[in-house]
Amino acid sequence: MAASGAPAILSLQGVAFADRRAAPSCRIDLELGRGDAAVVEVDAADTAASLVDLCLGLVDPPAGAARFLDHDWRGLSPGERFAARSRIGSVVQSQVWPTHLSIAESILAPRLYHRDRTPDQAAAEATALARTFGLPGVPAGQRDATAAGELVRAACVRAFLGAPALVVVQDPALDAMAALGVAMAQAVAAVQDRGGAVLWIIGPEGAPAARFVQPGQALRLGDRGLAPMRRSP
Amino acid sequence: MTVRGVHALPPRRPLRRLFAAVGDTTLGGLRGAATFAALAATVVLAGLRRSTWRPLVRLELRRVLHGVTVRALGTTIVASVLLGFALVTQAAYWLAATGQTGLIGTIIVLVLVREIAPILVGLIVLGRSGTATLIELGEARPKGWLRLMEMQGLDPVACLIMPRALGFAVGAFCLATILITSTLLAGYLVAHAIGLVAYSLWDFAGVVLQAMGPRDFVLPPLKCLAIGFFVGLVCCAIGLARREEGDDLQRVVPRGFVRSAIAILLVNGLFDLAL
C-alpha cells in the first residue's frame, strides 16, 4: 500500500491486455507503494510476459493507465522510457543474455549506460550481490560457457544491481530454485527497506523460491482481473 | 448496367492487378528507403550528441573497432600484397611498354585510391564483420535479448546500431589507409625487384602524391567512411528486422550481404560523380 502523499511506485488502473489469450474483459488494478511486495499468480506464460511488458512500459495497454513513479508510460517519450527503466530491475528470461557481451559485461551494462555508478562502484556492488546469491563473483564467461544455475543467480544480480525502485520477477527457472529462496527474500527485503517495491509473477505450479518472501499482497490473475489469493505456507 | 457492361469488366482486372502489384512494390520500396534514411539520420544525430557517448557506448565502439580493424588486418594486408603485385606491377609494366611511365602516379590514384581501395575495403568489412553482425543481431529479437535490453533501459540505437555503424565507418577508413599504403609498398617492391622501376621508394611515393589533387585527400577518405557506415547500418537494419526464428538466418545473411554490396556500389557511384 502506498504511503500517504507519496506516489505509488507502480500503479495499474483498469489496465487491459493487448494479447488475445487473456480474457477480453480482464482489467487489472494493482498499486505497489513504497516498501510493498506482491506475488501474482498467472496461468499462462504469455499472460505473465504481457503483464511484465505493461509494468515496464514496453507496450501500452489498450485501455487503462500504467504508471511508474507517478508517470504514465504512455506520456513518456522513448528516451524518457529508457531512463525510467533504469530504475527497474527485472529477473525475466534468466537464460537469455546478449551474445556479444560476457555475463559480467551484461550485468554492468545498464549501470554504465545510465551512468548512475562508476565502473568500479558497479563492479564492487555486483560482486557483493553475486556473493549474496551464492556465486564466488560475477561470472566472467559468455552465456554458453556458464551453467544454467549460475545464469539464474547472475540474472538476480543484474536485477538488484543499482538500487532499483521496482523489481519485477517473472522467471520459471528462478521459481523452481528453492535454494535461492533465502537470498531472494533478503534481496526483496532490502528493496522494501529502501522504499522500493517488488512484483513477483509466478506460474500456477507455484514457486518454491518465492515461499520465503512475505508479500503484502498475494493475488491471482483470473478472467475477472486480480483477486486476492491465499498462499500455501 | 447492361449484361455487356458486366462482362466488359473482367479483362481490366489483370491490368489493375498488375498496376496494384507495381504500386505495392514501389510503395514498399519507398517506405523501406524512407525508414532506412530515418534510421541513418537518427544514428548520425545520436552520434553528434555528447550525451549519447556514455561509458557503455564507448566500450561497445571500442569492441566493434577492434573487430572491424584489428581482426581484419591480416586479410587486408594479404589482399594489398596481391593487389600490389597485380595492379602496380601491371601498371608499371604496361606503361613502360608504351613509354608512358610518367602516368604511373595518375593511374594509381585513379584506379587504386579512388576506386579499388574503397570498394575492396567495403567488401572486406562486409565479409568479415558485416556477416557476423547480421548473425549476431539477427538473433537479438528471436532469442529475446533485444527485449531484455529494452527492459534494462538500454536504447538499441545507442547501444547496438550507432557503435556498429560508426565503428564500421572508422574501421573502413583505417583499413583503406593500410590497404593503399601496403599495396603501394608491395607493388613497388615487386616492380623494383623484377626491374620494372628504377627509382627509389621515396621518388615513387612522390610521384603518387604529386598525382593527387586536393580532392583526392578529401573525397576518397569520405567515401571509405560512408561505405563503412552504410555497410554497418544495412547489416544492423536487416539483422534487427528479423523478428522470429521462422525467418531463417540462412536467408537473412545473403539478403544483408547483397544489400550491403549494393550500398557499397551505390555510395561509390555517388562519390564518383563528385570526383
pLDDT digits (tens, 9 = 90+) for A132-157: 999 999 999 999 999 999 999 999 99
In a domain, A170, yes or no: yes
How many angstroms separate the CA of residue B106 from the nearest CA in chain A?
44
Q: A173 with A148: CB under 8 angstroms? A: yes
* Cβ distance of B145 and A99 shorter than 8 Å: yes
B269 touches chain A (CB under 8 A): no
Higher-confidence residue of A25 and B13: namely: B13
Percent of chain A with pLDDT over 70: 93
Give the chain A residue whose CA is nearest to the CA of B143. A96
Mutate to test the interface with A, among B141, B152, B159, B249 (most CBs of A within 10 A): B152
In a domain, A8, yes or no: no
The average confidence (pLDDT) of chain B is 89
Joined grid coordinates for residue B186: 608491395
- In B, which residues are within 8 Å of A119 by CB distance? 55
pLDDT above 60 (res B1)? no
Number of domains in chain A: 1
* Cβ distance of B54 and A92 shorter than 8 Å: no
CATH classification of the domain holding A143: 3.40.50.300
Binned at pLDDT 50, 70 and 90, residue B2 comes out as: very low
Joined grid coordinates for residue B272: 564518383
Q: CB under 8 Å to A71, separation ≥6 — which residues?
A: A80, A84
B55 touches chain A (CB under 8 A): yes
In a domain, A184, yes or no: yes
In a domain, A69, yes or no: no
pLDDT above 80 (res B6)? no
How many angstroms separate the CA of residue A52 from the nearest CA in chain B?
9
**Helix/strand/coil (H/E/C) assignment for every residue in A49-90:** HHHHHHHCCCCCCCCCEEEECCEEHHHCCHHHHHHHHCCEEE
Distance (Å, whole) CA B61 – CA A144: 23
User: Among A2-6, B140-144, B216-220, which is the least confidently predicted range?
Assistant: A2-6
Cβ neighbours, 10 Å, residue A203: 17
Higher-confidence residue of A169 and A229: namely: A169
Mean pLDDT highest for which of A170-174, B107-111, B158-162?
B158-162
B56 touches chain A (CB under 8 A): yes
* pLDDT tens per residue across span A102-125: 999 999 999 999 987 888 999 999
Distance (Å, whole) CA A49 – CA A44: 9
pLDDT above 70 (res A49)? yes
pLDDT above 70 (res A233)? no
In a domain, A149, yes or no: yes
Q: Is B217 exposed, middle or buried (0-12, 13-18, 19+ CB in 10 A)?
A: exposed
- In A, which residues are within 8 Å of B149 by CB distance? 98
**pLDDT value, residue B9:** 54
HSE (side-chain half, CA atoms, 13 Å) at B214: 0
B158 touches chain A (CB under 8 A): yes
Question: What would the DSSP string read from start to end of A117-138?
Answer: S-HHHHHHHHHHHHHHTT-SS-
Higher-confidence residue of B231 and B215: namely: B231
Binned at pLDDT 50, 70 and 90, residue B101 comes out as: confident
Domain that holds residue A103: 36-57+86-228
Binned at pLDDT 50, 70 and 90, residue B71 comes out as: very high
Cβ neighbours, 10 Å, residue A77: 8
Q: Is B23 exposed, middle or buried (0-12, 13-18, 19+ CB in 10 A)?
A: exposed
* Cβ distance of A109 and B159 shorter than 8 Å: yes
In a domain, A181, yes or no: yes
Q: B201 with B84: CB under 8 angstroms? A: no
* Cβ distance of A113 and B63 shorter than 8 Å: no
CA A135 to chain CA centroid, Å, is: 20
In a domain, A190, yes or no: yes
How many angstroms separate the CA of residue A93 from the nearest CA in chain B?
8
User: Among A108-122, B96-110, B169-183, B200-214, which is the least confidently predicted range?
Assistant: B96-110
Binned at pLDDT 50, 70 and 90, residue B3 comes out as: very low
Higher-confidence residue of B262 and B194: namely: B262
Distance (Å, whole) CA B183 – CA A192: 65
CA-closest candidate to residue B47, choices B149, B155, B130: B155
* pLDDT, average across residues A169-191: 90
* Cβ distance of B152 and A85 shorter than 8 Å: yes
* pLDDT, average across residues B234-255: 86
**pLDDT value, residue A214:** 82
B103 touches chain A (CB under 8 A): no
The average confidence (pLDDT) of chain A is 88
* pLDDT, average across residues B132-136: 94
Distance (Å, whole) CA B171 – CA B132: 15
Cβ neighbours, 10 Å, residue A133: 19
User: Among A46-60, A145-159, A215-229, which is the least confidently predicted range?
Assistant: A215-229
Higher-confidence residue of A88 and B201: namely: A88
pLDDT above 60 (res A3)? no
Give the chain A residue whose CA is nearest to the CA of B142. A96
- In B, which residues are within 8 Å of A93 by CB distance? 144, 147-148
pLDDT above 60 (res B11)? no
In a domain, A64, yes or no: no
B19 φ, ψ to 5°? -60, -40
Percent of chain B with pLDDT over 90: 61
Mutate to test the interface with A, among B64, B71, B151, B235 (most CBs of A within 10 A): B151
- The size of the A-B interface in CB pairs under 8 A is 73
What is the Cα Rg of chain A in Å? 17
Mean pLDDT highest for which of A40-49, A197-206, B121-130?
B121-130
ipTM: 0.88
**pLDDT value, residue A16:** 85
pLDDT above 90 (res A206)? no
- In A, which residues are within 8 Å of B154 by CB distance? 82, 109-110, 113
Of A58, A97, A100, the CB nearest to B151: A58
Binned at pLDDT 50, 70 and 90, residue A25 comes out as: low
